[in-house]
Structure 1
Amino acid sequence: MLATALYASGPAVADPVALPSTASEAVQRMIDLSRQSEQLNQQALSAQDELDAKLAVQEEADAKLAATTQVADAARAEVRKFQPVIDRTAIATYQGARTNRMYAVLVSDSPQQLLDQMSTLDVLSAQTADQLKEFKKATDAAESAESAARAAADAARGAAEKADQVRADLERKRSELGGAIAQVIEAWSSLSVKDRSALAGSPFPPGFDRDTLLQGLVPGSGTSALAAGLTRVGDPYVWGATGPDKFDCSGLVQWAFKQVGKNVPRTSSAQASYGTPVSKENMQPGDVVFFYSDISHVGIYAGNGLMLHASTFGVPVAVAPMGTTPFHSARRY
């Protein structure tokens, strides 16, 4: 699939032994380097998507931590509200305070005084019981809130660590992509005008009939997305671009379907899980086609074994045969 002789240990490290000696070798080196950079581009885009997802989880975890901390603070404040009463009751009990009915009988001077004292004791006992009950309720709530806050803090910390790991991976991929892009541009610059023209090729293959292809166009269908994409034929390939006048492969697919109201994922690998699968034998114009084992290239099927795609640097958006690219799968959006 790739000219492995060009690289010793990774896609961004060129092998000086593999320098081209002929014009055809120079063009092939350009194609191979572009293929490597396209892979890195899709990997970097996937890492960015993963980072965005991790940051969303982190944001949610941080919000939950803030909410649970607020609940825990309120619960502790509720406990503190009951604490003086509970402390006084505990101290009175410890010091042997006499608050039972037998004590009232012993110290009463008259039946009325006895009734008054016993009534007061009943009220005090009921109040104390209620306060103890509320205190228990408040402490249980505080313990539960603090436990939730601790769990939220752990989750927030874990989410932040995962986001940091993905961020580091993204920066590494971006660095590798930058090096690969520089190599591609250098290789392209070394080509003659004739070779550049041959590399760019024709925007449409011989006999391609756009009007017949788009007959019976259904709004919002894959064919209408194909029609939108065909308006961008001739626009340049640019790594990471999503339009409206420059594209990478998955950016073109995303842009075309966005024009018909469908928000498809950004990367080719994510796009390969969107919609429903279609066999190669049953593909229709407007279906999305994927290539290579790592699903690092994507286009829109244009019928008769052709596809619309943003191919690679130096090659504008075009309709081209599918047969030169290893087919992986197809989806219908």
Structure 2
Amino acid sequence: MKKINLAVVGATGMVGRTFLKVLEERQLPIENFYVMASSRSAGKTITFSGKDYIVEELTENSFDKPIDIALFSAGGSTSEKFAPIAAAHGCIVIDNSSQWRMDPQVPLVVPEVNSEDIAWHKNIIANPNCSTIQAVVALKPLNEKYKIKRVVYSTYQAVSGAGLAGWMDLENGLKGEEPKKFPHPIANNCLPHIDVFLDNGYTKEEMKMVNETRKMLHNENLKVTATTVRVPVFNSHSESINVEFENPFELDELIETLKNAPGIVIMNNSKDNEYPLAVDATGHDEVFIGRIRRDESVENGVNLWVVADNIRKGAASNAVQIAEEIIRNMNA
């Protein structure tokens, strides 16, 4: 197998550190490894696979050396500036920011859902929003079998989705301190407000879910709506997803369809109080689904409870899985 040169950009952040952890676990065939970050973090030492690496400052010359794949998690403005520079040098960028997600020239990819879209990349591939990733893993097999007519998302998103500052707001808030990241206390509270409000009354996070779902399911007219809520949970997002289909279904068959789909674990035994919890999903790459029940208010509807680790599957692991697909194609 061909070994690659790989860089992690934003290596010292919450997702960046998880990139390193997942890369170690999945043992990608790496020849030369580089860690990059802003000038604030440059010079720090990071240990990866038993070896120490000095964090380089990300500059316009960082990609003058041969790098095959770069995993970016350094924010939209950094990605806007440096991803095209890397791409121009022949490096394939897998970007975790929202910068490129809705660019028609850039594939938006969850490998279990639309890995075929990787083929048309122009050296930049976008990693979707964390809350959308776990949702489309659940929706893809159902769409193929029953054709989705409408989706209603209600999310219960952990503070780690807002980075270290969000995490600290909950930790400090539980001690009675005032919030620094969120507009209201998150401790003992639910905030129906993730990202900024838009002119239509939705938040940016909600519209990300709408638009990204349409793009990855290849249906720009799909009816999708969302309400996204930040909850006082440290890690792993939970989602209530209501789906209406064009075609009828048998519930047992639908559950079997989900059970046989890649990346999904079914926890659906209400009699024993078995359903996915945030604590179950944390540290895992699978998407956990339970509370599967028919929506009796419409002809062909179902309700799902979908839980996943937003830092792993919702960010780092998904990006690494994309890298694995690229390496597979290189060696095909």
TM-score by length of 2: 0.22
More strand by share: 2
TM-score by length of 1: 0.22
Which structure is larger by alpha-carbon Rg, 1 or 2? 1
